[in-house]
Amino acid sequence: MTPRTDAHLSADDIDAWLAGHLGPAQAAHLAACPACLDWAEADQALIRQLRALDPFSPSPLFADHVMAAVSLPDPFALRSLRTARRRLVATRRSVALAAMVALVVLGSMTASVVWSLAHRDVIAGAGTWLTASAGQWLWTALRSTVSSVIEQPGYHGLRDLAGSPGRLAALSALVSLTYVGGLLALRKLMAVPSGPVSHANA
């Protein structure tokens, strides 16, 4: 495919020209296109100016000076008892707020204890009701579970199997043999080979 001759050079083409690796077609376009030539010469002048700058490197103590001017908050300051105590007694408003919260908490606890002592029969009745309700709920759940198991299609077959000792013993023996065979096969697969093993890429 023949490239377009009226297409301007791309940034990669300018970089290739600055590095001295521009292709002949792009070089011909650069010589005939004033816009591309101005762009390339501007980039070349900028690179010359950047190269003329003195190299800059910060002093070895630059990081220490910066970190000394930065104040980092203590992440555990809010959790410390000393900081919380200072904030509580900092202003009268904070002291009043803390006293109000303490009064509400202590008042609630005292009212709860007094009510509990005065209404022991209510608490005992509630405990008895909760125990009876829990027992009834468990009994209902058990009956529902048993009913759903009985309604399953395979229930009668399992019941017949359990009613026949010979069939049950044969099934148990078959399950045991299958389990032992699986263990032996797994042991054989996990055994360390005694001789050298040939690899496919050897």
Alpha-helix residue ranges (DSSP H) falling in the chain: 11-19, 24-32, 34-52, 62-69, 81-88, 92-118, 120-150, 155-163, 165-190
Estimate the crossing angle of helix 24-32 against helix 34-52, to 10 degrees.
100
Estimate the crossing angle of helix 24-32 against helix 11-19, to 10 degrees.
100
Average the pLDDT over 27-44 and give the result.
90
Residue 200 has pLDDT above 70, yes or no: no
What is the structure's pLDDT at 3?
43
What is the structure's pLDDT at 74?
62
What percent of the chain is modeled with pLDDT above 90? 4
Using alpha carbons only, how large is the chain's radius of gyration in Å? 44
What is the structure's pLDDT at 45?
92
82-111, pLDDT tens digit by residue? Answer: 666 666 667 778 778 888 888 888 888 888
Task: Between 152 and 42, name the one with better pLDDT.
Answer: 42
Task: Between 198 and 114, name the one with better pLDDT.
Answer: 114
- Would you place residue 2 in the very low, low, confident or very high pLDDT band (cuts 50, 70, 90)? very low
What secondary structure letter does DSSP report for 130? H
Helix, strand, or coil (residue 80) = coil
14-31, pLDDT tens digit by residue? Answer: 888 888 888 888 889 888
pTM (predicted TM-score): 0.28
Q: Are 26 and 13 in contact (CB under 8 A)?
A: yes
142-185, pLDDT tens digit by residue? Answer: 888 878 877 777 767 777 766 677 777 777 888 888 988 888 88
Distances (CA, A) of 71 to 68, 74, 80, 81: 8, 9, 19, 22
Q: Please count the other Cβ atoms lying within 10 Å of the Cβ belonging to residue 39.
A: 18
What backbone phi and psi angles, to 5 degrees, belong to 195? -100, 180
Average the pLDDT over 60-79 and give the result.
74
Residue 53 has pLDDT above 50, yes or no: yes
